[in-house]
Copies of this chain bind each other. A is one copy, B any other.
Amino acid sequence: MLSKGLIKLVNSLKHKKYRQQHGLFVAEGHKMIGDLIKIGSPIKTIISAQNINMNGAFEFVQCKSGELDKISSLKTSQDMIALVKIPEYQYKEEAILDKLSLALDSVQDPGNMGTIIRIANWFGINNILCSFDCVDIYNPKVVQASMGALMKVKVHYLDLCKTIEQLAKNTGYEIYGTFMETDSIYELELLPRGLIVMGSEGHGISTKIEKLITKKIAIPSFAAEFGGAESLNVAVATGIIVSEFARQKQELRN
């Protein structure tokens, strides 16, 4: 049976303030938790109604059937909940030099954030720079959408404007910004060294960040013939753009 203290702790972790205070976040479901263990994530506690057979240096708490409903963040609670230690790392300019990185300006939808972290992981992008108003990556919905990729990619919350300014000044980095209508990614030369800035779906890249963009890029639309298309989902747009950078990098090598 779950203690009142544990129930209170797990429920408090639905809020960013308490996640930061305890240095913990929640992951749910044996698939997700198994993946986290496989990649060596620092797990503190696993809670499940079934006696589990998983190796690792964590505390196991067996609860009663149905008790997970009291602490789950999901509509349909899974078979297992883990408390995972939030990894600590800091943004260092040196770490992103000569690499391609992503910057997110006010991306607030948790599903999109999780999906973008998966994209970064897939394409070997190690660092994502986020404006302070982006959704917290340890939000339960981001955790579920990121499928474990959030332990492999470093996501930094920082003053995005100031960071980009310094980066451009110190390194001569190309700052790519994604807009609706401008030069096509298929026709531009995209270098495997730089920063790709993605804006929010509702408002795009903010005016003060737009001023720092050194190369504007767009995904061309082919929809004109039947009434035009409004927009692409921001995670899909990120995937398409990052893929085109990867393709051009590979073409350069060959």
Chain A residues close to B by CB (< 8 Å): 35, 39, 111, 115, 118-119, 121-124, 126, 145, 147-149, 152, 186, 219-223, 225-227, 229-233, 235-240, 243-244, 246-247, 250-251
Contacts and interface: CB of A to CB of B under 8 A. Distances in A.
Given A115-B233, A233-B115, A250-B186, A121 B223 contact: yes
Nearest to A236: B239
Given A119-B233, A119-B236, 20 more contacts: A35-B230, A115-B235, A118-B230, A118-B231, A118-B233, A118-B236, A121-B223, A121-B226, A122-B221, A122-B232, A123-B221, A123-B222, A186-B247, A186-B251, A220-B250, A222-B246, A232-B239, A239-B239, A239-B240, A240-B240
Given A186-B247, A240-B239, A247-B244, A118 B219 contact: no
A147 to B, nearest CB: 5
A115 B236 contact: yes
A240 B122 CA distance: 12
A32 to B, nearest CB: 10
Contacts of A219: 122, 243
A226 B126 contact: yes
A147 B230 contact: yes
Given A123-B223, A124-B225, A231 B115 contact: no
Given A236-B239, A240-B239, A147 B222 contact: no
